[in-house]
Chain A
């Protein structure tokens, strides 16, 4: 059995699913509204003769059928960022507001981090954490190229994330160490077994091993748990992966709602998607995991993705 055949019972139309997984993805860019507007960026692409197709769900996410994202004038001004279409979903679901405090728990190389900052009009605070120093230099290069100023970067294991650096001066208004400098929102876009990126990187299926799925699920649970702990009551946590494996998706949500004060909440998504599943290989999950969304490559001609929205209740 191939890795993708493992998920055949989950998809409505396996033949279309397999066919979509075989096709390469078009280049896609997101317009960086910290430095420009969607209208200006589109005008710049027209001026330099690069064809684009607007996606029907997001005016600032553009497909470039004939070009690479990184070699044109709007790119060198930091107006565009190469980012796969479904990768733009979780930041939109988290919907951070200007002035809020937001944690990006697995931030490098920064596509979603910079999208969070743009949604906040580069105001407030994004704390961007990653445990890999090499990937953090890519993150910093991207945040600087895109003009992000509301970011603090930490290199640490997200499971042990410390809020300490983010207190304010005792004589200044704002959160202090004593009140925990809790986050309003957190994005938990975890490392995963990545079958959803097969259209970009077919080798991902050769490297897939069940042992690794089980190992990485433990890390995912730890990071999601820390994010719920670090977010204030009433705050929002978004959990996302680019894997189809229920062990890394619904099972991780099931763990979080059992161990921490939070619940899975419904959300609208202007893309075709399937609900989270409640049964997998003899395991059953809470009914509320059906509020999560599974995005398969054949549904919107994108990569594969999983996204859930949680509200912190206590």
Chain B
């Protein structure tokens, strides 16, 4: 568990200028509030049905409070670099939120909480617009897929609440496609 006296020891703070590997389990946690690798794997599994084995070759790192990065392989922690793999997840809020890039890379392994859109609705989503849609499943963050070259392909992250699918596509990734 996190120690009560957090004063003085630099190892016990979260640093925004370096990457710290996530502790494997809560027993190894030094920085208060930092998620564990076990919790990250369970979250992907519980929310999207992604088998933890998918993430076995990867390590998870925090830089900036709650910003979790996924990196192939491992390095000695902490690492003083300016980028490590890709940002995959934001965790310092009640509902954890995956990134578009992580969903595109790993969302093909998901089995639940995926909403499949026909092309026109996918275009609306990609343009960053919210839309009213029927959905029988859970509210919250969903993986949005559509069909490309004959297969359902993960496109990004939507937030489903109040009969509405809200596009979480970041501004820089939005496109107006017909």
Binding site for B on A (CB under 8 A): 34-36, 40-41, 43-44, 47, 71-74, 76-78, 122-125, 128, 136, 139-141, 143-145, 147-155, 165-170, 172, 174
Chain B residues lying within 8 Å of A139, measured Cβ to Cβ, are: 83
Q: Is B74 a contact of A155 with CB atoms below 8 Å?
A: no
| B15: interface (CB < 8 Å) | no
| B164: interface (CB < 8 Å) | no
Q: Is B80 a contact of A165 with CB atoms below 8 Å?
A: yes
- The CB with the most chain A CB atoms within 10 A, among B75, B83, B126, is that of B83
Chain A residues lying within 8 Å of B72, measured Cβ to Cβ, are: 122-125, 149-150
| B177: interface (CB < 8 Å) | yes
| B82 interface neighbour in A74, A136, A170, Cβ under 8 Å | A136
Instruction: Check A168/B76 contact, CB under 8 A, given A40-B149, A149-B71.
Output: yes
- Could you name 28 residue pairs across A and B whose Cβ atoms are closer than 8 Å? A43-B149, A71-B175, A72-B177, A74-B148, A76-B126, A76-B173, A76-B177, A77-B153, A78-B104, A123-B57, A128-B83, A140-B83, A144-B87, A148-B85, A148-B86, A149-B58, A149-B86, A150-B71, A150-B85, A151-B85, A152-B81, A152-B85, A153-B81, A155-B82, A166-B75, A169-B74, A169-B77, A172-B76
CB distance from B109 to the nearest CB of A (A): 13
Chain B 149-178: CB-based contact to A (< 8 A → 1; otherwise 0): 111010100000000000000001101010
Chain B residue with the shortest CB-CB distance to A153? B83
| B31: interface (CB < 8 Å) | no
Instruction: Check A71/B177 contact, CB under 8 A, given A150-B85, A169-B77.
Output: yes
Chain B residue with the shortest CB-CB distance to A79? B148
Chain A residue with the shortest CB-CB distance to B77? A169
Which label, helix, strand, loop or mixed, suits the secondary structure of the A interface? mixed
Bound together, the chains give a CA A112 to CA B156 distance in angstroms of 25
| B73: interface (CB < 8 Å) | yes
| B51: interface (CB < 8 Å) | no
Instruction: Check A124/B177 contact, CB under 8 A, given A136-B83, A151-B83.
Output: no
Chain B residue with the shortest CB-CB distance to A74? B148
CB distance from B86 to the nearest CB of A (A): 5
Q: Is B79 a contact of A152 with CB atoms below 8 Å?
A: yes
Bound together, the chains give a CA A151 to CA B58 distance in angstroms of 12
Chain A residue with the shortest CB-CB distance to B18? A165
Q: Is B172 a contact of A141 with CB atoms below 8 Å?
A: yes
| B105: interface (CB < 8 Å) | yes
Bound together, the chains give a CA A140 to CA B101 distance in angstroms of 11
CB distance from A93 to the nearest CB of B (A): 24
Interface size on B, residues (CB 8 A): 34
Binding site for A on B (CB under 8 A): 57-58, 70-77, 79-87, 99, 101, 104-105, 126, 148-151, 153, 155, 172-173, 175, 177
| A43 interface neighbour in B80, B150, B172, Cβ under 8 Å | B150
Q: Is B86 a contact of A144 with CB atoms below 8 Å?
A: yes
Chain B residues lying within 8 Å of A140, measured Cβ to Cβ, are: 83
CB distance from A14 to the nearest CB of B (A): 43
Q: Is A149 a contact of B76 with CB atoms below 8 Å?
A: no
Q: Is A77 a contact of B148 with CB atoms below 8 Å?
A: yes
Chain A residues lying within 8 Å of B57, measured Cβ to Cβ, are: 123
Chain B residues lying within 8 Å of A150, measured Cβ to Cβ, are: 71-73, 85
Chain A residues lying within 8 Å of B83, measured Cβ to Cβ, are: 128, 136, 139-140, 143, 151-153
Chain A residues lying within 8 Å of B175, measured Cβ to Cβ, are: 71, 76
Q: Is A168 a contact of B82 with CB atoms below 8 Å?
A: no
| B104 interface neighbour in A77, A122, A170, A172, Cβ under 8 Å | A77
Q: 7 tightest CB-CB pairs across the interface, nearest first?
A: A153-B83, A150-B72, A147-B105, A43-B149, A44-B149, A144-B101, A149-B85
Instruction: Check A145/B101 contact, CB under 8 A, given A136-B83, A168-B76.
Output: yes
Q: Is A73 a contact of B73 with CB atoms below 8 Å?
A: no
Q: Is A168 a contact of B149 with CB atoms below 8 Å?
A: no
Q: Is A154 a contact of B82 with CB atoms below 8 Å?
A: yes
CB distance from B40 to the nearest CB of A (A): 14
